[in-house]
Amino acid sequence: MKASILNDEFFNNLDSSILPIEEAETLPPFCYTSDEFYEFEKEAVFNSEWLCVGRVSQLDKPGDYFTTSIVGEPLIVCRDLKGELHAMSAVCRHRAMLVAEGNGNKRSFVCPYHHWTYALDGSLRNGPAMEKTCNFSKSDIRLPPLKLETWLGFIFVNFDHDAAPLAPRLKYVEEAIQRYDIANAEVVGPHQTSVFPWNWKVMFENNNDGYHANRLHHGPLHDFIPSSMASFPKLPDDTAGYLRYNGTLHPDASFNATQKAILPIFPKLTKDDRKQLIFANIPPSLSLVLTSEMVIYLIVRATGPETNEMDVGELVAPGAKNVPGFSHLVEMIDSAAGKIMAQDQHVDELVQIGLRSRFAVRGRYSWQEGAQIDLNNWLVPRYKACWQQMRKSKLGTPERDSTSS
Ligand code: FES
Ligand SMILES: [Fe+2]
Pocket of ligand 1 (CB under 6 A): 92, 94-95, 97, 111, 113-114, 116
Gap between the Cα atoms of 68 and 48, Å rounded = 18
Q: Which regions of 249-363 does DSSP assign to beta strands (E)? A: 276-282, 286-290, 295-304, 307-316
Gap between the Cα atoms of 404 and 394, Å rounded = 17
Q: 403 by DSSP, 3-state: which?
A: coil
Q: Which atom of ligand 1 lies at the shortest distance from residue 92's CA?
A: 2
User: Is residue 401 classed exposed, middle or buried when 0-12, 13-18 and 19+ CB atoms within 10 A define those classes?
Assistant: exposed
User: Is residue 114 classed exposed, middle or buried when 0-12, 13-18 and 19+ CB atoms within 10 A define those classes?
Assistant: middle
Q: What does the pLDDT read at residue 291? A: 98
Mutate to test the pocket of ligand 1, among 94, 98, 117, 118 (most ligand atoms within 8 A of CB): 94
Exposure pattern of 15-24 as b/e (b: 16+ CB <10 Å)? ebbbeebeeb
Q: 363 by DSSP, 3-state: which?
A: coil
Question: Residue 284: is the preceding peptide bond cis (ω within 30°)?
Answer: yes
* Count of CB atoms situated within 10 Å of the CB of 117: 16
**Which segments in the chain show pLDDT lower than 70?**
1, 395-405
Enumerate residues with CB within 5 Å of ligand 2 (an ion): 344
Q: Please provide residue 399's backbone torsions phi and psi, each rounded to the nearest 5 degrees.
A: -80, -35
Closest C-alpha to ligand 1, atom 3: 114
333 CA to centre of own chain: 22
86 CA to centre of own chain: 19
Q: What does the pLDDT read at residue 393? A: 86
Q: What does the pLDDT read at residue 397? A: 54
**DSSP H helical ranges for 324-369:** 326-355
Rounded distance from Cα 93 to ligand 1 centre (Å): 7
pLDDT in tens, 160-188: 999 999 999 999 999 999 999 999 999 99
Q: 359 by DSSP, 3-state: which?
A: coil
Q: What does the pLDDT read at residue 214? A: 85
Rounded distance from Cα 348 to ligand 2 centre (Å): 10
Q: What does the pLDDT read at residue 208? A: 86
Q: What does the pLDDT read at residue 400? A: 47
Strand order in the sheet with 109-110: 109-110, 117-118, 124-126
Mutate to test the pocket of ligand 1, among 93, 108, 114 (most ligand atoms within 8 A of CB): 114
Q: What does the pLDDT read at residue 3? A: 77
3-state SS record for 224-252:
CCCHHHEECCCCCCCCCCEEEEEECCCCC
Report the length, in residues, of the chain: 405
Gap between the Cα atoms of 307 and 298, Å rounded = 16
Ligand nearest to the CA of 116: 1
Mutate to test the pocket of ligand 1, among 89, 91, 92, 124 (most ligand atoms within 8 A of CB): 92
